Chain A
C-alpha cells in the first residue's frame, strides 16, 4: 500500500467500498500519476471532487525456481495492478460514456505530428499505428510528447446537464522521475547478476 498517496484522499471505509458497478477510474493531476497505478482506465473528472483509496498494492511478478511455474506466472497470468476505488462527489451531474479506448506509445516525433503504436483497451484487437497532429494534444501535455511517452486516447460521449457531446481526448501519462536509490539499486542488481550467472 502506498500511504504517501492515501493521505491525499479521504479513504473509504471497507463497508463503503463501491460494488463493481460503481468503480470509477480517474485521472488525478499530479497525484495518482506519481504512484505506480496504471492509468489505462481513465475517467474524466469535471467539476466534481474525488475521494478514494488504494485497495491493492502492485504485486511484482513472482518467480519460481521451477521453470514451468515461471512460465505460468509470466505468460498466462495477467500481472496484478492496484485497484483504485473512488467515490465521486459531483457538483454538476456529468457522465462520460466511453466508446473506445487505446493505450499509445510514441515512437516517432515529427515536426507537427507524432506516430504512435496503439493497443486497443476496449476489445482485444490487433495493435494499430496512428499519426496524430500535435494540435490534438492538450497544450499542457505537449511537452510530454517524446519518444517512449505513454498516453491514453479515449473517444465517447460526455453527458453534462442534459447535453451530450462527442469527445476525443488524449491524455499523456506523467511518469515519476528516477530516484537515485532506484538507480543505485539497479546497479547493485546488475553487479549481482554479473557475478552469480556463468558467462561463458
Chain B
C-alpha cells in the first residue's frame, strides 16, 4: 500500500486493531476509541530495531506518553516480550499488566538471578527485569495508581472507560479470560523447576512452555468485540487452556468479529468451541507466522483448517525460503564446510490493520501492509 495513505491516525470514533509480526516477535496495537490505545506484547522491527508498536504510533503522529492506557505482556516468551521494557518506558501514562502467574516468588527470583547478568543472554527475563525496575521507579515518583501491576487472571476486568462516540457514551472494556487458577499453580511449579541450585553451571534459562499461562484478552466497545488469543494452547484438561475459557459462565457475553489466532495458528491451540461459541460467522482472523529451526507455523494443514472456518483470514507475512546473508566467497566456503545448514532468522515484517467506525455499525476495512498476505497465500512466498 502507498505509505501516505496508510499512516494517518484513526478518528476518535474509529476502532482499530493492528497485528505486527513476525519481525522479532508479535505485537498488537488497538485504538479503542477516544484516543485510548492499548499495546499487547512487543515485536522488534528488524530494520529499525525498535519496537514496531512505537514506530507505528510515531508514524501516525500519536504521542504514546499520553495516549497509551494499558500495556500487556501476555507471557514471557522472547517472541512476545522483546522491547516491551522500552515500550513501557515511553508509555508513561500506561498501566502495566501481566499474567497472574508472574507474581510468584519463583518468577521474581528468576528475574533477580538472570535479569542483571551481562553474561547470560535471556531476553525474556531481562525484559521483565527492566519492566520491574521501571515500575519501581514509578512507585517512587508517581505513587498509585500507575505504579500498580495489574495481574491478569480468568474473567477479570482489566480496564474500563466511558468513551464518547458520535454523541453516544459507550463503555470500552478489556477483560482477561486467562490464566485459570490451575494454570497459575502449574506455572509456579514449572518456574520453580527453572531455578538453579548451588554449584550448578550457569546458562541461559529456557522458559519452557509458558503458553498455558498466556493472557487471552477480550476487548469491547459498542457492538465491537475482539478476541486476542495470545499463545494459549489447548491442553485437553477441563481446568487449563482454552477449555476453561469456552466453558466459563463468567466471560463477557457476545461474539467477537475479529480474532487474533493463538500460537501462530498451530493445531494444538485450536478449540472448535471458540469458533462456534465465541466468534461471529467469518470473523476477521489474524495471525503471525513462526519459523525457527525445523519448526514452521502455521503448517499447511493449519492453513486449510483456519480457511475452512473463515473467509477472512490473514497473516502478517508469507513463509519464504530463508537464505543467509551474502559474504565473501572464502567465508561462504568455510561456513559451508562447518555447518550442515545455515539460514537467516525469519524476520520479514508485516502488519494487518482492521479499522471501522464504532457507531453506527460498520464493516471493517482491511489493510495488508508490508509483507502481510491473505492466509491462503502464506505458503506461496
CA distance A118 to B335 in the complex (A): 12
Chain A residues with CB under 8 Å of B111's CB are 190, 193
Task: Name the residue of chain B whose CB is nearest to the CB of A189.
Answer: B112
How many residues of chain B get a CB closer than 8 Å to chain A's CBs?
70
Chain B residues with CB under 8 Å of A183's CB are 109, 113, 195-198
Residue-wise interface mask of B (285-299) relative to A, using a CB-CB cutoff of 8 A (1 in contact, 0 not): 000000011100000
Which residue from B140, B199, B340 sits with its C-beta under 8 Å from A133? B340
A interface residues with partner B (beta carbon < 8 Å): 36, 38, 58, 60-61, 63-68, 70-71, 74-75, 79, 81, 99-100, 105, 107-108, 113, 115, 117-118, 120, 125-133, 136, 146-150, 153, 155, 166, 168, 170, 173-180, 182-183, 185-187, 189-191, 193-194, 196-200
**A129-B342, A191-B105 given; A100·B331 CB < 8 A:** yes
The answer to whether the Cβ of B380 comes within 8 Å of any Cβ in the partner chain is no
Which residue from B116, B202, B293, B335 sits with its C-beta under 8 Å from A178? B202
* Minimum C-beta distance from A64 to chain B (A): 7
Query: Do most interface residues of chain B lie in helix, strand or loop, or is the interface mixed?
Result: mixed
Whether B198 pairs with A127 at a CB distance below 8 angstroms is no
Chain B residues with CB under 8 Å of A182's CB are 113
CA distance A102 to B374 in the complex (A): 36
CA distance A98 to B180 in the complex (A): 53
Task: Name the residue of chain B whose CB is nearest to the CB of A81.
Answer: B118
B interface residues with partner A (beta carbon < 8 Å): 46, 85-86, 89-90, 92, 103, 105, 108-113, 116-121, 130, 132-141, 144, 147-151, 195-206, 292-294, 324-325, 327-328, 330-331, 334-335, 337-345, 347
Whether A132 pairs with B112 at a CB distance below 8 angstroms is no
**A67-B89, A128-B345, A186-B112 given; A168·B134 CB < 8 A:** no
Whether B148 pairs with A150 at a CB distance below 8 angstroms is no
- A-B contacts, 25 of them at CB < 8 A, read A65-B140, A70-B89, A74-B85, A75-B86, A75-B89, A81-B118, A99-B330, A105-B121, A107-B293, A120-B325, A128-B324, A130-B340, A150-B120, A155-B331, A168-B334, A173-B119, A175-B201, A178-B202, A180-B198, A186-B110, A186-B113, A191-B108, A196-B136, A197-B136, A197-B148
CA distance A176 to B205 in the complex (A): 15
**A132-B339, A168-B337, A175-B119 given; A196·B139 CB < 8 A:** yes
Which residue from B89, B109, B202 sits with its C-beta under 8 Å from A187? B109
Whether B151 pairs with A199 at a CB distance below 8 angstroms is yes
**A126-B325, A131-B339 given; A155·B105 CB < 8 A:** no
Which residue from A133, A175, A194 sits with its C-beta under 8 Å from B203? A175
CA distance A146 to B205 in the complex (A): 11
**A99-B331, A129-B292, A130-B339 given; A177·B138 CB < 8 A:** no
Task: Name the residue of chain A whose CB is nearest to the CB of B83.
Answer: A75
Whether A177 pairs with B202 at a CB distance below 8 angstroms is yes
Task: Name the residue of chain B whose CB is nearest to the CB of A112.
Answer: B340
Chain A residues with CB under 8 Å of B331's CB are 99-100, 155
Whether A150 pairs with B345 at a CB distance below 8 angstroms is no
Whether A179 pairs with B112 at a CB distance below 8 angstroms is no
Whether B118 pairs with A36 at a CB distance below 8 angstroms is yes
CA distance A66 to B340 in the complex (A): 48
* Minimum C-beta distance from A114 to chain B (A): 10
* Minimum C-beta distance from B78 to chain A (A): 10
Apart from A128-B324, A131-B342, A148-B206, list 11 A-B contacts with CB within 8 A: A63-B137, A99-B334, A105-B204, A107-B293, A128-B342, A128-B343, A130-B339, A130-B342, A147-B203, A178-B202, A186-B112
Task: Name the residue of chain A whose CB is nearest to the CB of B144.
Answer: A198
Chain A residues with CB under 8 Å of B340's CB are 113, 130-133
**A70-B89, A132-B338, A166-B334 given; A176·B144 CB < 8 A:** no
CA distance A67 to B135 in the complex (A): 10
Task: Name the residue of chain A whose CB is nearest to the CB of B137.
Answer: A65
* Minimum C-beta distance from B55 to chain A (A): 13
Chain B residues with CB under 8 Å of A193's CB are 108, 111-112, 132, 136
Whether A146 pairs with B198 at a CB distance below 8 angstroms is no
Whether B148 pairs with A200 at a CB distance below 8 angstroms is yes
Whether B137 pairs with A70 at a CB distance below 8 angstroms is yes
Whether A108 pairs with B293 at a CB distance below 8 angstroms is yes
- Which of the listed residues B144, B150, B339 has the most CB atoms from chain A within 10 Å of its own CB? B339
